[in-house]
Structure 1
């Protein structure tokens, strides 16, 4: 924020704290909802369960919802613009997390505002960027520009096959906005039919991307991506990945984007993920 700009009254707003508990069943349901197969026993079987780090985002969904409830923006027109996640430690198969949340930034895009809602606890820090039409024009900073794709051919190209029941399953994990299940609500939001949650699309993309890189999806340590267009349940997605030349930390870094295979519309852009090195002597899941 520079001296010539004006801060939104929502910037820095404290959204409070909340303790959320979860069980092995919740973590397994999440893995199935984002596309893990029944043969991935380390993701869907309690005897050897590793929790996907993106499951944390379902536990923290209360924070962006709370900001909408307070009247910061019109919940019927605001959309989830992008997501960031920094993993501080693995999630246990079951347990509880105490999280605190605040409005970290409010960016002025002119005709709209972007609210960065930050949720933090000892296992992760997650940031929702919420695009709110009509909320801009207060004289604030425009914020960072969108990251550009690498100027070279992609080195990785896995695919993601979403399925027709995926949005119906994913909403059971906490995000029950009607536009993901009710055709009338979807049309009121400007969509032709119910569409997949952006966070479900993102997590579904990470599974084949990790496999392509030779990484385990539960070893994710950093993630960010923008939601460029909706995905409809049943869409097949084409992923493009580039080894991240800027990643000098230990592990595997990749930049990525995804597009719908039928019409090549970009649905995820500016993606970046980093996976920690696999732990030595970790038992691999046998083939089903």
Structure 2
């Protein structure tokens, strides 16, 4: 597995227009009243839209033979914004495998995508690929011991996964009940990146920030979210950053969350 560390995954350009950026904002949960997110006149692009443009990179790794795509899961996500995305344009990206961590019975592959607008890292948890004698890697960020500073509520839309898959991730398990059951889920579930992006909207509002001013974002995907679920978001202030966790019922769905707004 150490042979994968540093391996290039190539380069890619992605072209998008204002309609695609607006569709993304709506899929992430932006209301029609958020005119600078959903109306082309003064459009600002949500920074997490970049993750849909860069999805090709982690999708390259499995077919290249790094791990079994039928069992690998998206473990966590990191985004660092370099400068705002334009309302429309063409973005050049290059991708590589960063670290490969040995978790014993599994490996974690970090896929790094870099561009002039953002840096993003996908952590892919691959069961059966560990035990190769590599370093275990850093531990996940723990829940803060203090009481949360704020508790927020987010109601996801029953149509949210159906909308989000139009941005490029069309895995059938997010729309087809039979495909979801084959994946071990009772019904179609939301994309982890959709859930993570959706959380940034109420977090920004509660902290008197604009969601398009997101500068840094981290989150670990702990459990699936189903369209229509109501999420409880707890936040903590941490030296200019916002730490957060999201739950639905008794399940933590996003852990180790961290956001910074510029």
Which TM-score applies when normalising by structure 1?
0.89
Structure-2 residue corresponding to 1:124: 118
2:121 & 2:178 partners in 1: Cα distance?
30
2:108 & 2:146 partners in 1: Cα distance?
31
1:83-162 → structure 2 map (5 Å cutoff): 83-162=77-156
Gaps of 5+ in 1: 1-6, 248-252, 277-288
- Secondary structure of the residue aligned to 1:151 is coil
Is the deviation greater in 114-123 or in 141-150?
141-150
1:39 aligns with 2:41: no
Structure-2 residue corresponding to 1:168: 162
2:80 & 2:92 partners in 1: Cα distance?
16
Q: Is the 8 Å Cα contact of residues 33 and 170 (structure 1) preserved in structure 2?
A: yes
Match of 1:202 among 196, 199, 204: 196
1:273 aligns with 2:240: no
Gaps of 5+ in 2: none
Q: Is the 8 Å Cα contact of residues 77 and 189 (structure 1) preserved in structure 2?
A: no
1:139 & 1:212 partners in 2: Cα distance?
45
How much has 1:38 moved relative to structure 2? 0.4
- Secondary structure of the residue aligned to 1:69 is coil
Which TM-score applies when normalising by structure 2?
0.98
Match of 2:228 among 221, 230, 234: 234
Once the two structures are superposed, residues 112-171 of structure 1 have per-residue CA deviations (whole angstroms, 9 ceiling, x without a partner) of: 111100000000000000011111111111110011122111111111110111111100
How much has 1:69 moved relative to structure 2? 1.7
2:176 & 2:134 partners in 1: Cα distance?
36
Q: Is the 8 Å Cα contact of residues 195 and 230 (structure 1) preserved in structure 2?
A: yes
- Secondary structure of the residue aligned to 1:9 is helix
Structure-1 residue corresponding to 2:74: 80
Match of 2:245 among 223, 240, 257: 257
Structure-2 residue corresponding to 1:3: none
Match of 2:11 among 1, 14, 17: 17
1:182 & 1:111 partners in 2: Cα distance?
31
2:48 & 2:14 partners in 1: Cα distance?
15
Once the two structures are superposed, residues 7-66 of structure 1 have per-residue CA deviations (whole angstroms, 9 ceiling, x without a partner) of: 621111100000110000010000000100000001000001100000000000000001
Match of 1:183 among 155, 177, 180: 177
- Structure with the higher fraction of residues in strand conformation: 2
- Secondary structure of the residue aligned to 2:150 is coil
2:27 & 2:108 partners in 1: Cα distance?
28
- Secondary structure of the residue aligned to 2:212 is helix
2:96 & 2:176 partners in 1: Cα distance?
31
Q: Is the 8 Å Cα contact of residues 163 and 233 (structure 1) preserved in structure 2?
A: yes
How much has 1:207 moved relative to structure 2? 0.1
Number of corresponding residues: 262
Q: Segments of 4+ in structure 1 off by > 4 A?
A: none
How much has 1:264 moved relative to structure 2? 2.2
Q: What CA RMSD, in Å, does the superposition of the two structures yield over aligned residues?
A: 0.9
Structure-2 residue corresponding to 1:279: none
1:214-229 → structure 2 map (5 Å cutoff): 214-229=208-223
Structure-2 residue corresponding to 1:62: 56
